[in-house]
């Protein structure tokens, strides 16, 4: 059985995510809206929420109830929304430029003082977000295979609501795979405030790690500049394409 599409090669000109609990930077090219571009948004919101909840749930398992007590362990996106960063800024950016989307969500609070082993537990909490994105990517692959098995290729249907709905679902699942692998890899770049920086800081000597964390959001500037540096960008995208291979194989074996 052939599907409506396969996983597309990741194109950094189509979207670039710098996502931590506080920041999401998305660059969209100046092209006409497509099914894929519309399908991106629901899976993007869901993926970010799952990412944040994973941090909070892991912290809770390790003894920190802060996120739970503040009502942040929910898949409802509303508690994660920052009025200014999640609504006003991206709306103004879209209206002003049409191609640049900048937003941030409320960080899931974590209090390391609850941890028994601060270094180990901070690494586990930080890694939980990217790990959750890989799980979501696999879920999208499974849903794609199941939907395709049940409904078949949208290309075989006449133009209409049913075909448009199937195309949207297939695009959402396939986009969700690439997007979540991208989020997982990107967040593990060891530059503050990305998750990878917490992992690195916890492995460094305590004083050096503390100073490294203090780079904070200045690190975002460095990340943006690095992603404009072709050799660095090629390394990141090569890792993403490598991780995408098992997902491609899974789909190809079953459809």
Q: What is the pLDDT of residue 71?
A: 93
3-state secondary structure of 26: strand
For residue 52, indicate whether it is catalytic: yes
In this structure, what token pair is assigned to residue 57?
């749930």
The token duo for 246 is 């098992």
Q: What share of the chain in percent tops pLDDT 70?
A: 78
Q: Which tokens hold the place of 249?
A: 């194989």
Query: Taking 80 as the threshold, does the pLDDT of residue 93 lie above it?
Result: no
Mean pLDDT of the chain: 81
The answer to whether residue 5 scores a pLDDT higher than 50 is no
Q: How many CA atoms lie within 13 A of 21 on its CB side?
A: 25
Q: Which among 196, 197, 193, 150 has a CA at the least distance from the CA of 169?
A: 150
Q: Determine the pLDDT at residue 86.
A: 64
Least confident of 8-22, 77-91, 96-110, 141-155: 8-22
If you average pLDDT over each of 29-38, 121-130, 158-167, which comes out highest? Answer: 121-130
List beta partners, residue 103. 24
d(C-alpha 65, C-alpha 111), whole Å: 8
pLDDT band of 91, cuts 50, 70, 90: low
What angle (nearest 5°) sits at the alpha carbon of residue 51, between those of residues 45 and 57?
130
Residue 177 sits at the vertex; the CA angle it makes with 37 and 82, to the nearest 5 degrees, is: 60
Both tokens of residue 101? 């989307």
Predicted pLDDT at 161: 84
Q: Which of 127-131, 166-170, 215-219, 243-247 has the lowest mean pLDDT?
A: 215-219
Distance CA 37, CA 143 (A): 19
pLDDT of 117 reads 96
3-state secondary structure of 102: strand
Concatenating the DSSP letter of every residue in 170-212 gives HHHHHHHHHHHHHHHHHHTSSSTTSHHHHHHHHHS-HHHHHHH
Active-site hit among 14, 36, 52, 162:
52
């Amino acid at each position: 059985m052939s599907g409506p599409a396969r996983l597309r090669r990741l194109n950094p000109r189509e979207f670039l995510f710098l996502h931590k609990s506080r920041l999401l930077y998305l660059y969209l090219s100046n092209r006409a809206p497509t099914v894929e571009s519309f399908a991106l948004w629901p899976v993007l919101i869901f993926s970010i929420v799952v990412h944040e909840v994973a941090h909070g749930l892991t912290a809770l398992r390790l003894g920190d109830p802060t996120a739970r007590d503040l009502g942040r362990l929910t898949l409802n996106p509303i508690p994660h929304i920052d009025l200014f960063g999640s609504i006003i800024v991206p709306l103004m950016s879209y209206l002003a430029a049409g191609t640049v989307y900048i937003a941030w969500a409320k960080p899931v609070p974590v209090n390391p003082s609850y941890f028994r082993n601060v270094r180990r537990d901070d690494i586990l909490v930080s890694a939980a977000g990217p790990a959750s994105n890989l799980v979501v990517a696999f879920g999208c692959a499974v849903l794609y295979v199941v939907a395709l098995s049940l409904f078949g290729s949208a290309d075989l249907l006449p133009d209409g609501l049913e075909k448009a709905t199937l195309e949207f679902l297939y695009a959402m699942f396939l986009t969700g795979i690439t997007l979540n692998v991208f989020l997982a890899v990107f967040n593990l770049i060891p530059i503050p405030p990305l998750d990878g920086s917490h992992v690195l800081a916890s492995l460094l000597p305590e004083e050096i790690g503390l100073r490294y964390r203090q780079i904070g959001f200045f690190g975002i500037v460095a990340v943006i500049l690095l992603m404009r540096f072709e050799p660095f960008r090629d390394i990141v995208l090569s890792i993403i394409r490598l991780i995408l291979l098992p997902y491609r194989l899974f789909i190809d074996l079953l459809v």
